[in-house]
């Protein structure tokens, strides 16, 4: 029988699917307190006519459509247009809107990496992140390990991300403790003089805008 062949058993012993992914347990457990609260509030908003189910779905779609590619195009513009870069560093929210991004009420500050300065962003108190430009944060950004460690030993944390900085580079950690959100403007990689703005944007990674990485080098 096909279900009894040896490889299949091995996959089960490893806890991995044939394509190499761990199996995820079915979520048959009871709802948590906060899951119940979310459902209750959503249903109340709909019952009381404050929002419709489709309006809520549209908001979820809008947030899901935001991605680091939006931030990457802001960075690429700043690399190619010095005036825009000036405006970005002065008022990053206005600069992002200038490129047509619907960032809502986001109050954004751009911090610039230079030859001597490396910036990295965290929210120690919760998980503040420029979602309205970059989309949802990576899971690690919200972990207690990242949040507590990057303010105390940023160099060690960055080294774990593969980014070892010399002591001559000043590390600036930005803790998003209140109303501002932050995006790192990474330094433009060497050897990119001939690239178009679109090609430059493809080099800008999510992590390079959080500060836990650098942009990719041109192929």
Partner 1 sequence: MAERVRVRSMMPPGHVRTPAYLRGKVGEIERSLGAFPNPEELAYRQKATARPLYRVRFTMAEVWGAEAENPDDTLDAEIFAHWLIPLDD
Q: Beta 170-175 vs 181-185: how paired, if at all?
A: unpaired
Which two tokens mark 126? Answer: 């919760």
Residue 73 or 119: which CB sits closer to partner 1? 119
Residue 122 or 201: which CB sits closer to partner 1? 122
123 tagged catalytic: yes
Residue 80 or 124: which CB sits closer to partner 1? 124
DSSP sequence for 162-177 = T-PPPTTSEEEEEE--
Q: Which residues pair with 171 in a beta bridge?
A: 118
DSSP sequence for 89-118 = HH-HHHHHHHTT---TT--EEEEE--SSEE
Q: Which stretches of the chain bind partner 1, using CB under 8 A?
A: 124-125, 151-156, 167, 170-180
**CB 166 → partner 1: shortest distance, Å?**
10
Choosing from 126, 148, 196, 217, the catalytic residue is 126
**CA distances for 59 relative to 55, 66, 129, 181, angstroms:** 6, 11, 17, 20
Residue 103 or 157: which CB sits closer to partner 1? 157
Q: How many residues does the chain have?
A: 219
- Whether residue 209 contacts residue 129, with contact meaning beta carbons closer than 8 Å, is answered with no
Residue 1 or 178: which CB sits closer to partner 1? 178
Sign of CA dihedral 138, 144, 150, 155: negative
**CB 137 → partner 1: shortest distance, Å?**
18
**CB 89 → partner 1: shortest distance, Å?**
11
**CB 3 → partner 1: shortest distance, Å?**
54
Choosing from 73, 93, 123, 176, the catalytic residue is 123
**CB 194 → partner 1: shortest distance, Å?**
35
126 tagged catalytic: yes
217 tagged catalytic: no
49 contact partners, CB below 8 Å, separation of at least 6: none
19 tagged catalytic: no
CA distance 54 to 10: 45
Active-site positions read 123, 126-128
């Amino acid at each position: 029988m096909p279900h009894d062949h040896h490889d299949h058993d091995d996959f089960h012993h490893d806890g991995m699917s044939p394509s190499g992914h761990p199996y995820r347990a079915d979520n048959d457990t009871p709802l948590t307190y906060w899951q119940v609260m979310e459902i209750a509030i959503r249903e109340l908003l709909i019952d009381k006519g404050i929002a419709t189910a489709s309006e809520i779905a549209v908001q979820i779609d809008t947030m899901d459509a935001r991605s680091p590619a939006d931030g990457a195009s802001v960075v690429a513009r700043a690399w190619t247009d010095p005036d825009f870069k000036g405006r970005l560093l002065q008022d990053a929210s206005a600069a992002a809107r200038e490129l047509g991004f619907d960032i809502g009420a986001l109050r954004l500050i751009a911090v610039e990496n230079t030859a001597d300065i490396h910036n990295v962003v965290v929210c120690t108190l919760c998980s503040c992140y420029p979602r309205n430009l970059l989309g949802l944060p990576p899971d690690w950004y919200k972990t207690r390990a990242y949040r507590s460690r990057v303010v105390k030993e940023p160099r060690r944390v960055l080294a774990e991300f593969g980014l070892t900085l010399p002591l001559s580079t000043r590390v600036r950690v930005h803790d998003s403790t209140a109303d501002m959100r932050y995006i790192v403007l990474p330094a433009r990689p060497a050897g990119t003089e001939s690239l178009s703005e679109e090609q430059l944007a493809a080099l800008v990674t999510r992590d390079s805008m959080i500060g836990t990485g650098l942009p990719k080098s041109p192929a």
